[in-house]
Amino acid sequence: MWRPLLLTLGLAALSLSTAATVTVKPGDTLYGIARRQGVSLEALLAKNKSLNPQLALKVGQVLQLPARSGTARVATTMNGGVVRPAGIRVSAVLPVQGRLTSPYSPAHLGLDLAAPTGTPFVAARAGRVTESRFDARTGWGWTIVLDHGAGMTTRYSHNSANLVQVGQTVETGQVIGRVGSTGNSTGPHLDFRVMVNGNVINPMGLY
């Protein structure tokens, strides 16, 4: 009579142990895995300290998953909304599924997401286009800036093409440009930056 119970407990233990890891499948990205598991990209990287975000994931690679608090789960299941310190509630998507070549840091106030030239990228959040131009003075190259209201703006730079015009309203996930290497750039990538009330914040705080 104890065998079924022991078997059940064994299966439960196995389920708990396997839930702490995830195996990389074809097409997986760090961002995609983090979204599916309901954790932030930063927490996933912190849990896997040997992981180099500048290198592509390998199929079959096993990643450790960070613990998810109840608060974190609510934040990631309510349409991806995250409450920022400024009191702004956002629902955002990553502009392009590229390789993270430069994470956010005091020396680099944004994310560099490498992708082939011409790859479409999208608006991280709904908003209005306030800039769509070639910025030669600061080295951004073809650049788009969106105003999302409540003091939040996002910037997309080094584009090969801008597909929106100033004054245009865009939706979350709408294609607004194509990845390039214009301006001061060493290779095709999207430089993605976020500002709230004039202060630069880590873009991964949106996800």
Residue 90's closest CA among 197, 206, 175, 169? 206
The pTM (predicted TM-score) of the whole model is: 0.61
* Same-domain pairing of 92 and 22: no
* Same-domain pairing of 51 and 106: no
CATH code of residue 11: 3.10.350.10
* Same-domain pairing of 169 and 180: yes
Give the chain's end-to-end CA distance (angstroms, integer).
48
Taking a C-beta distance cutoff of 8 angstroms, is the pair 40, 34 a contact?
yes
Which structural domain, as residue segments, surrounds residue 8?
A: 1-77
pLDDT value of residue 91: 61
Question: DSSP of 115-178, one letter per residue?
Answer: --TT-EEE-SS-EEEEEEEEETTTT-EEEEEEEEETTEEEEEEEESEE---TT-EE-TT-EEEE
pLDDT greater at residue 116 or residue 59: 116
Cα 88 to its chain centre, rounded Å, is 18
pLDDT value of residue 166: 96
Say which DSSP state 204 is in.
Answer: G
* Same-domain pairing of 128 and 192: yes
Lowest mean pLDDT among 42-46, 139-143, 184-188: 42-46
* Same-domain pairing of 89 and 125: yes
* Same-domain pairing of 60 and 119: no
How many domains are contained in the chain?
Answer: 2
* Same-domain pairing of 137 and 195: yes
In percent, the amount of the chain with pLDDT more than 70 equals: 76
Residue 207 — very low, low, confident or very high, per pLDDT cuts 50/70/90?
Answer: low
* Same-domain pairing of 41 and 108: no
* Same-domain pairing of 57 and 102: no
Residue-wise pLDDT tens digits, 163-177? 999 999 999 999 999
Task: Give the chain's mean pLDDT.
Answer: 77
Residue-wise pLDDT tens digits, 118-137? 999 999 999 999 999 999 88
CATH code of residue 108: 2.70.70.10
Residue 133's closest CA among 153, 159, 110? 159
